Structure 1
């Protein structure tokens, strides 16, 4: 049976007695089988747990088993399947379905046993990430403070110089390093040009991996080697972003806080759709019941061959997409050309995000920008080129969750 964890505790293949956490309740501490099945710290009966591997119906930090002198833990959870956690003892996380198999085995066997093997590297090139751009952020080996606990148990006293962790704290250095790599190759490029190069050359990810598509993984997974030679870039100046912020509803006072320039002003710019920001993506929010109708203008700068011709193709579900002009010819490096993308379609309501793209190709380069369409409530604010805010609501007890992580507070 295969599980997921960062396990560097070697049991040498030795089998140990296996017990269900619900059969090891610390009644003297007020615990019962429901609580001990989650293997919370203080809820475990050390007389029954000592020297055994414990099956837990949920993810915890492992301290409950450790403090009860257990050898290891098998935790069942299907919510966290794409990232591994470090624990202060030998542990692995399996799916709830496999967990039921383990529980059936325990209940049907007179003397159940188990072992936990040292972890092996598992490569998943389609792991989920976060916008505008994605970078490696799952199970990354990185430097670690020797005075910080190496696992999710804050009382873990081990000291390590490296650890395997996941999250944006890992993907951000990769993205920054990729940007620095592109900057080293093109010292005079602006930050906007570098970001454009990274976004338009990214690996396209599998849309079946996440319901929110580009709102989950952005333009795709970074490809630094291709980003050095993107062919075209969508460049933008400070003035472009000032105009964008004014369209978003910033006034002169709040604008100065962002720019740090007392001369910044919105002038006569009024809040509205900021579709003309020269950004390497296209985002269309449609109010429920309204038609799909938008025109985006973009300008690209040639950073490839002095003589090249790009053909533009665009598509999006449930809509008609046209591009004018459909061909861009360049005769010099640094030359700029503009085009407009018109998106139209029937009225839509309660429509999840649909994903399309605008592609510029010259036979050598493929400059890809995502085009997404989604619905919003009538009268709602619709910041262009940004993700609509979703405020999660939590119901129920905050003490623990049957299949949650870090059950204790």
Structure 2
């Protein structure tokens, strides 16, 4: 405290204890702040200018939407060169609008134009990261009756696709339907076939991470997984490192796929790209659209690219199925809540994965995790993260007990299983050369996740009992067994993470509309995608077990493709109604 008092005195004038601020310094500070704010307002950022329906005839004297959009930009920006440099996308195939780099002043000027419905920033959206069809009652006989969605075209707006996966083999498929007007962008050795008949990619910010591939190819896994769930063919012997072994198939295995890549690793999914994908997909001739992407917060319908795109799809007879979000169990957090969307929540199926922890005293605890690592029943030394503090990194026991990266001393962890009081991706244990990890589960959580090392998640009560064993034993030991599949007799139940209603914009419109399997689902995966929750997991797998409303959404999309195949003339509302009114109440 002496140092603080001395410092305060040094700021005082020897003659005046209440020194007044220097007016010149204050004026300079205000000028700097004003300059920074002015520069920020003059910085051009991507915005979407939405103008409603596709124009019919000449508007503003222009013969095409592109010419019209360039003309509008030229009037506001002042020159043809500036207009062309600013324009990112011209939406004119299925609706009217454009994306362009605009200053705040230019945004305000466009908003005043009568023909403009809304102007909104290029907001980043997020991805809402087999047996499930049999559980739903979609047996092979159902597939035969609707011809497996034959020649129905399902559009997937996501992170791309891995076309070489067995789930997208085109053996037995003929040429694309005559109505198809799409294209395949064949950059970076990407090729389509008679199963994947179309593929495009979009990146309005022109920013890429090292993992990204500038083509429709999927490097994350999310888009491949969702596409396979919706319309992958039957693949025998699919598994995740031997777990969940069986037949993997999509809901509409005979449907065609067209993919629209709008999401990038470490970069996200942006509004302008999502709208561009909708504009193309509608014009390409898709029958069903599936999008497992959500907004960071609630938008009005006319400022939400998913709402806008799906509205124009609906007017063209195309149903859009969208994920409800993974922000449950809080209320009023549902995403993709537009009335014309099929908003899909996540529920469990009759299979759970358990991973047992066996202590040196013979005590066994059943936890939840997808553990594919076999320790052969060998007992390893067991320690608590709080006893393995990395003091050289200025960590403390209260922090290392949660096993954050860098907080553990490798000399105290190497060759041991670690009890952690927090949940993580297991990377801290790997960095410290540990053998396995024990973490607390969440109450009511019915999902399991794959980790990069032997893992299990047990209840907080069990965590306390294991801690007591460690502190009371001279030589605490443990092992973690390979995961087993057990029957979930109470399924289906709503997933803990699945976003709940009511609708944040219009509470009288009930959302979500229905739920579908979204917990522990096996489907195709790119071999270069991460093999667990740990981003740096370098193992490779062709099939992955994942959970989320991202996973439930393509289940509904596949079911919608069946209905569309059986009833080609049905409207999106009729298909949506059929799915909602024939579902089971749980």
TM-score by length of 1: 0.49
Name whichever structure is richer in helix by fraction: 2
Larger relative contact order, structure 1 or 2 (CA cutoff 8 Å, min sep 6): 2
TM-score by length of 2: 0.34
